[in-house]
Amino acid sequence: MFLSIHQYYTRNICKLKGKLFRFLVSSKNLKIGKNFQCDTFPSLMIDKNSKITIGDNVIFKRNVEIRAHATSEMIIENNVKIDRGVRLLSNNNAKLHISEGARIGLYTVFNGGDSIFIGKKVLISGFVYIQTSMHNHEKSKSIQEQGYSHAPIVLHDDAWLGAHVSVLPGVTIGKGGVVGSNAVVTKNVAENEVVAGVPAKVIKERE
C-alpha cells in the first residue's frame, strides 16, 4: 500500500512534533513513552504534586487538552488514540487511567473529580461526557455555593459508547457493554448488555 505525498508528509510531521513535545515537556511529573505522535502540541496543565504517564505508540490529534490538578494521577497506556478536541481532566486525588488500545472520539470530555478507569480496547465515540462530579443542589442556598459530590466511573474492556453519550457519577459499564447514541447512563450496565435511552435502559444483549 502506497502513501500519498500528503499522507507521508502528515505522518512524519506528527512524529516529529511528538518527539519535540516529548523533549520539551518531559519531567519528573510527566513521562512520555516511545513513538508519541501529535497533530498539534496538546494544551498541558500539570500541578507540581500531580503526575502524568503516557505509554508507547500513543497518538493525539489536534487540540487535545490535558489537565492534572492537586495530587491526581493520569495514566495513558500503550497504543491509545485520542481524537481532536478531547479534554482529559483529573483533580483532587483521583486517578484517570486509560488502558491499552482504547480509542477516544473527538471532543469527548473526561471530568475526573473522582477516578475514571477505561479498560482495554474500549471504544468511545465523539462528543461523549464522562462526568464523575455533580453539583450539590439543596434549596437552602445557591447551587454555586454548595460544591460537588463525586463518585468514580469504570468502563471495563471492550465497552463501546456511541456518540453524545453521558455517563454520570458512580456508573460501572461491564465488559463488552454497549451504550447507544445520545443515552444518559445513570445506573450500572452489566457485561455484554446493550442499553439506550434517557435514562438508559437494557434493550438486548450482545449475541
- Marked catalytic residue, from 6, 69, 97, 135: 135
C-alpha cell at 137: 443542589
Using a 10 angstrom Cβ sphere, with 0-12 exposed, 13-18 middle and 19 or more buried, the burial of residue 175 is middle
Whole-number Å distance between alpha carbons of 120 and 128: 18
Q: Is 164 a catalytic residue?
A: no
C-alpha 9/C-alpha 1 separation (Å) is 16
Cβ proximity of 128 and 164 under 8 Å:
yes
Closest CA relative to residue 98, chosen from 150, 129, 55: 55
- Cell numbers of 43, please? 494544551
Q: Which sequence positions are flagged as catalytic?
A: 135
